[in-house]
Amino acid sequence: MPKPAPLRLIKRCRLYERRGDWKPIPSLTRGLYVLYRKRPSRKGTKIFEVAYIGVGGVKKVPRSGVGARIRTHDKTKPSADWTHYSLFEVHDNISREEILELEDLLLRIFRHDPRIKLSNILLGTSVLWRLSRGRAWSPHHT
């Protein structure tokens, strides 16, 4: 019997990798990624500000994986915009819709956080909007 995965959604991850170091990313990796700006701190510790949250491998076009998306950001965003990245590869059984839902959830969570200056703030999907307006916790809802 195969050993169960440590996480149900995430298969592998790379954390706080330097911009330009994407050779180890398989070309069609599906999942989420985060772009960071590294900032100096007074105590000499590293501070990473979240600049962007995105997904890769959700379109049915060649070279749309996480690695390709990060390389596209490298070409289109000035170096001051981001310095490091993290990526989170999802398991093969995670659907395109589930990946997009995870992205939407993270963007919704961080939308009004004053510490984070996201360059891709979304209002959220209509599904999340309906859920937030619904009666999910009303006593009459089953």
Q: What residue spans define the domains of the chain?
A: 10-133
**Residue among 40, 141, 22, 42 at smallest CA distance from 87:** 22
pLDDT at 17: 93
Q: How much is the pTM? A: 0.78
What are the φ/ψ torsions at residue 14 (nearest 5 degrees)? -130, 130
pLDDT, greater one: 11 or 39: 11
Burial of 85 (0-12, 13-18, 19+ CB in 10 A): buried
pLDDT of 122 higher than 60:
no
- The answer to whether residues 51 and 117 touch, using CB atoms and an 8 Å cutoff, is yes
> CA 90 to CA 129: how far, in whole Å?
25
Q: Give per-residue pLDDT as tens, 40-98.
A: 777 777 788 888 899 998 876 656 799 988 988 888 877 778 999 999 999 999 998 89
